[in-house]
């Protein structure tokens, strides 16, 4: 089925297509017509920005299911886009078009937005512990294969302890998941309109809250330094985490920092303005502290 056949019942004919920049995982387009516009997401059998890395098109089935669950937790300040149509055979997902505007990175009231985001994320994690299983394409194994293991190989000769910590957290995240996680929470996945909208749920899974929190924390550190990172962590209230959760948080935070400096996506997420050597040293410091108590 061609994109016009899928989209014109929603936007009218003739429809036009505009490719949107910024997405790393899928091919994303704005489709417009006489009746309005929508967002079309198409999933190739690989990461769109890194075709050498295979990735199941079934990820859009995950996103479709996760968006419908997450919508139940919409607030006046944090929401997710509405799903219009999902065609699994064509690997196409249609969602509402939220228009042109900034992401969280260009928020004019970032501290307040982080408060709202942290409260919403905490509620999502606490309220989704007994949900039915999502469609699964092995996202935890994919992340282990394409993030943790390659990074472990890159740094194992400088310090084997760092390397082992990456493998430990990969295995931990795939064991006994406790709630729904967004899976790829960074500034470009949070759109700033009148409210905040969380997009790009294809890496969603039943997982551990530490992964979502550490993921965004690493990107806040990359973009703004430790002050706003600490503000977000305090707003989420991580003080009740146990030692294992704190270890997982520190390990994934280090892994994500490495991924954006020496890993598969160098120079993204604010890393382009940072020294790779400096960021690697910070990440390794986080990793070496991962097993040390319940301080983050």
In tens, the pLDDT along 135-182 reads 878 889 999 998 889 888 887 756 666 788 889 999 999 888 889 999
CB atoms within 10 A of CB 106: 10
| Residue 23 maps to a domain | yes
| Residue 94 maps to a domain | yes
**pLDDT-derived band of residue 260, with 50, 70 and 90 as boundaries?**
confident
**CATH at 86:** 1.10.510.10
Q: Which has the minimum average pLDDT: 121-135, 153-167, 281-295?
A: 281-295
Q: Give the model confidence (pLDDT) of 108-122 as tens digits.
A: 999 999 999 999 999
Burial class (CB in 10 A: 0-12, 13-18, 19+), 24: middle
Q: Give the model confidence (pLDDT) of 23-66 as tens digits.
A: 778 999 999 999 999 999 999 999 888 898 889 999 999 999 99
**pLDDT-derived band of residue 274, with 50, 70 and 90 as boundaries?**
low
**268-274 mean pLDDT:** 56
| Residue 293 maps to a domain | no
Q: Which residues lie below 8 Å from residue 115, measured CB to CB, with a gap of 6+?
A: 235
pLDDT at 135: 81
Domain that holds residue 162: 3-288
| Residue 295 maps to a domain | no
Total domains present in the chain: 1
């Amino acid at each position: 089925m061609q994109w016009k056949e899928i989209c014109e019942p929603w936007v009218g004919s003739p429809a036009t297509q505009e490719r949107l920049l910024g997405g790393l995982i899928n091919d994303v387009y704005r489709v417009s017509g006489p009746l309005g516009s929508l967002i079309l997401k198409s999933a190739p059998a690989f990461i769109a920005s890194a075709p050498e890395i295979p990735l199941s098109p079934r990820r859009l089935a995950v996103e479709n299911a996760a968006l419908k669950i997450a919508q139940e937790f919409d607030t006046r300040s944090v929401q997710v886009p509405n799903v219009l149509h999902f065609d699994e055979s064509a690997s196409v997902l249609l969602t509402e078009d939220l228009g042109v505007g900034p992401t969280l990175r260009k928020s004019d009231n970032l501290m307040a937005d982080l408060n709202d985001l942290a409260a919403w994320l905490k509620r999502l994690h606490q309220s989704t512990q007994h949900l039915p299983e999502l469609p699964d394409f092995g996202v935890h194994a994919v992340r282990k294969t394409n993030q943790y293991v390659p990074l472990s190989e890159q740094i194992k000769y400088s310090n084997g302890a760092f390397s082992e910590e990456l493998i430990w957290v990969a295995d931990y995240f795939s064991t006994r998941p406790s709630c729904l996680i967004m899976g790829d929470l960074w500034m470009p996945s949070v759109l700033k309109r009148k409210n905040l909208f969380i997009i790009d749920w294809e890496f969603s899974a039943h997982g551990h809250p530490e992964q979502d929190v550490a993921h965004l924390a690493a990107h806040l550190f990359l973009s703004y330094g430790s002050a706003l990172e600490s503000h977000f962590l305090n707003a989420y209230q991580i003080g009740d985490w146990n030692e294992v959760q704190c270890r997982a948080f520190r390990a994934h935070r280090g892994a994500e920092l490495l991924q954006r400096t020496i890993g598969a996506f160098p120079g993204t997420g604010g890393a382009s303005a940072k020294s790779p050597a400096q960021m690697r040293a910070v990440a390794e410091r986080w990793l070496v502290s991962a097993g040390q108590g319940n301080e983050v």
